[in-house]
Amino acid sequence: MNYIDMHCDTLAKAWLGGEKTAKRLQGTMVDVERLRKSGAKAQFFAMFLPQKREDGWFLPEQEGGRFSMEQLGQAIEGMYRVYCDTMEACKDSIAPACCYADFQKNWSEGKISAFLTIENGHPVSGKIENIERFYGMGVRLITLTWNDANCLGYPHSADQKEMERGLTKFGREAVAYMETRGILVDVSHLSDGGFYEVADIVKGPFVASHSNCRALTPATRNLTDEMIRVLAEHGGVAGLNFAPGFLNGSEGDKVSRIERMCDHVGHLIRVGGAECAAIGTDFDGIEGQFEISDCTGMELLFHALRRRGLSGDMLEGLAWRNAARVIKEAAK
Ligand SMILES: [Zn+2]
């Protein structure tokens, strides 16, 4: 079955691994050759930019602590180079896409679409002109925060006070600008306060590219039922994340199970309706033991959902049609 995956961290993994392209990669969950085999219609490729050193994620020659803007600039440059070189090296299979027309054209030519995104708006650095620069590179989705506060707003947090903090003044301006410019606003990783401010500012659809349901898994990265309803009212989508920590009931459970994915999809559809469900695997950004260990296993999920009684129409909506609708409405 064809699908659209709204989030992966493969560019970061490839770049950190010293790869020139993401054509055929060892030790990753996504590469172009496997995307082709797996029936992908589009893959969103994030340029992931942690502000602080975290286990498993570091920039070369970085000793720890916070990354400077210069280092983040180098990271963007490095990941962007991998992206561009991949598009060139695999141009018969995949092509960049900035809008729905690109997506359709690529598909009609038998090609997967590659949407470029930024995970963490920190490098926007308080300037609209930087958003414009990223737009010029082809970025059509920005995940406003990662797990630290930045110029746009505050991240999800277990601290209730932190969780209520929303966008900065500049963040509100930037979000409005992104909508008019045609860059998808992504609330995954954002605080609950930030979520509701985005919902107030953005008139059309916005997305939670890789977040699950908090009612099933009480992770602060997941969406409450009320948030799912608001997202759905906007015509937005939430992408199913395969990380064990966002799927399971207990924190210590490190297995990413297909049955649990089906539970989250079922809950999302019950609360927000069939049109708000999408996929955002988070491949290459997650750790654990995986029943779907790379993109070639996507069919296992679709098969399990069919067995659970999800109609063909709903399944196609989840797999790609809902994400395609949001691209059509919001990416320009
Ligand atoms: Zn993420």
> Comparing C-alpha atoms, which of 20, 73, 18 is closest to residue 47?
73
Which residues of the chain fall below pLDDT 50?
none
Would you say 36 and 72 are in contact if contact means Cβ atoms under 8 Å apart? no
Q: How many Å apart are CA 112 and CA 103, to the nearest integer?
A: 8
314 CA distance to ligand 1 middle (Å):
25
Residue 251's pLDDT is what? 85
Residue 320 is given by DSSP the state I
pLDDT digits (tens, 9 = 90+) for 47-69: 999 888 765 565 555 556 788 88
The tokens 């995986």 sit on which residue? 290
Q: How many Å apart are CA 10 and CA 299, to the nearest integer?
A: 20
Residue 57's pLDDT is what? 61
146 CA distance to ligand 1 middle (Å):
7
Q: How many Å apart are CA 51 and CA 23, to the nearest integer?
A: 28
Residue 60's pLDDT is what? 55
61 CA distance to ligand 1 middle (Å):
23
172 CA distance to ligand 1 middle (Å):
21
105 CA distance to ligand 1 middle (Å):
29
Residue 131's pLDDT is what? 98
What domains sit in the chain, N to C, each tagged with a CATH number? 3-330 (3.20.20.140)
Residue 68's pLDDT is what? 85
285 CA distance to ligand 1 middle (Å):
7
Would you say 288 and 243 are in contact if contact means Cβ atoms under 8 Å apart? yes
Alpha helices (H) along 21-124:
32-38, 69-89, 100-108
Q: How many Å apart are CA 238 and CA 223, to the nearest integer?
A: 9
39 CA distance to ligand 1 middle (Å):
23
Q: How many Å apart are CA 246 and CA 210, to the nearest integer?
A: 10
